[in-house]
Structure 1
Amino acid sequence: MAPDARLLTPHTPAAYDVVFTADFASERQWVAGRSWAYPGGGPVNPGDDKLDFLVPDAAYSRSGVFRATRRADGLWNTGLLTTEGSEEGFLLRSGDVLEARVRLPRETGAWPAVWTWRDGDQEIDVFEYHPDHPDLLEFSNHVRASGSYVRDRGVRPGAEIGLRTEFGARSVVWWVDGRRVFADHRGVGRGWHAYLIVNLSVCAGRYHPAPDPETTEMSYEVSELVVRRPVYGAGAPPGGPAAGSR
């Protein structure tokens, strides 16, 4: 049911428009194999306990299946896509809602994530997962130093789950399979905006176990990812509460 227009304030969404539908094969939407979230744009990030060696090879990310394969030097070729530096340059904004469907990896050492980044900061983790904690998801708001570990009966290696994150100015809210599981009550502020990153990292062993010696490949899948943006009632400032951000 649509909201009663008489009850709308400038900060009450009347509806949500889809403003981004992920097409991982699109080079206009996504850049593959580099990110300024990694030192120098990559390809490695050992300081974050990662064995990653980012590669632009389409087979590692462009199908929506994010892969990692062992290299002879002990690192792993890994798949990463980001909207930062792409032709479209899509930015999430305060008030946006991201929905995704993912299939979790099975292999020890796999570290899948959907997250945001801009100018060395602005990181919100839609989710992180480690199969050594098979029923646990990690949610973090690094913008305002909050987060949570959430156990869920539907979370396990190889499971397909639905994720929803509301990037509220006053509270970031996370949902799993239609259930609200955590609200941080800190939010991102009205002017927040950030690029999207989707990737599969590999743990080096400091925080979570490194891959088993016999493991040579791992993967996880993002089959859907959309972003919805609020449409505000009469009297709202142009662009809604995130006016001035892209």
Structure 2
Amino acid sequence: MTVVFDADFTSTRQWITGRSSAYPRMGPTNRSDHKLDYLVRGYCPGGVFTAARRHSGGLWSCNLLTTEGSPDGFQVHTGDVLSARVTLPVELGAWPAIWTWRDGGNEVDVFEYHPDNPDLLEISNHVRGGYRYWHGAGAGIGPGATFGMRVVLGANSVDWYVEDELVYADLHGVGSGWHAYLIVNLSVADGTYHARPPISGPDRLSWTCHSLRVER
């Protein structure tokens, strides 16, 4: 396979920032999805995604990068293999994710994470169904952990690997003609399903995507 996408989180050709069709009216907020996000423009040197407490309104200024609408307009396709290396956040309320989106759906979640479930990675295929809440304490998953992931976006099965261990094969896949844009972001949970940041807690949350590549 050949590398067809190698993320540079400062590239104005690969990404646009601070807006996405996955948010109502392209953002900046998405309260219906239980997020305290207020999307802001800005790239992410070193793959560091941040959220900063705003002075009023209870929202957080959040980083989101997407290939949707960018000059390159890169999309992943059926059969692609996505690899990433990440460092998880430690702060309550942080909600990092790598995912795909197009035309109101076509969503595959490479991962989502919430520090109030310290060893749990949420992985899901919203295209044809299938998800797993994978407890990775034995693999060292926890706040501040650094690890590699690989997702094979097959027509008949989407397969997730953590440090080369197959942790879930959904046996549904994305179908033969599937394609979608990439999104990498940091959201902030509003407390409905996961702990929100404490009022007396830090004013800045972060996580790091050290690398993100797609092979075809």
The CA RMSD measured in Å over matched residues stands at 0.8
Match of 1:117 in 2: 101
Number of the residue aligned with 1:175: 161
Match of 1:51 among 13, 36, 56: 36
Cα distance, 1:63 vs. partner? Answer: 3.4
Q: TM-score, normalised by structure 1?
A: 0.85
Question: Is 2:50 the partner of 1:67?
Answer: yes
Moved >2 Å (runs of 4+): none
Pair 1:220-2:186 in alignment: no
Of the three residues 50, 75, 81, the one matched with 2:65 is 81
Q: How does 1:31-50 map to 2 (within 5 A)?
A: 31-50=16-35
- 1:132-187 Cα deviation digits (max 9, x unpaired): 00001000100112100001122100000101001000000000111110000000
TM-score normalised by the chain length of structure 2: 0.97
1:160 to 137, 146, 155: 146
> Match of 2:89?
105
Over residues 28-56 of structure 1, what are the superposed CA-to-partner deviations in whole Å (9 max), with x where a residue is unaligned? 00001110000010000000000000000
Between the aligned partners of 1:168 and 1:104, the Cα distance in structure 2 is: 26
Identity %: 58
What does residue range 13-32 of structure 1 map to in structure 2 within 5 Å?
Answer: 16-32=1-17
Matches of 1:86 and 1:28, distance apart in 2: 6
Q: Would you say how many aligned residue pairs link Structure 1 and Structure 2? A: 212
Gaps of 5+ in 1: 1-15, 230-246
> Which residue matches 2:178?
192
Separation (CA, whole Å) in 2 of partners of 1:158 and 1:212: 19
C-alpha displacement at 1:203, in angstroms? 0.1
Separation (CA, whole Å) in 2 of partners of 1:205 and 1:110:
11
Correspondences of 1:202-217 after superposition (within 5 Å): 202-214=188-200, 215-217=202-204
Deviations 1:55-93 (A, max 9, x none): 0033xx243100000012210000000000000000000
Give CA deviations for 1:103-137 in whole Å, capped at 9, x if unaligned: 00000110000000000000000000000000010
**Higher Rg:** 1
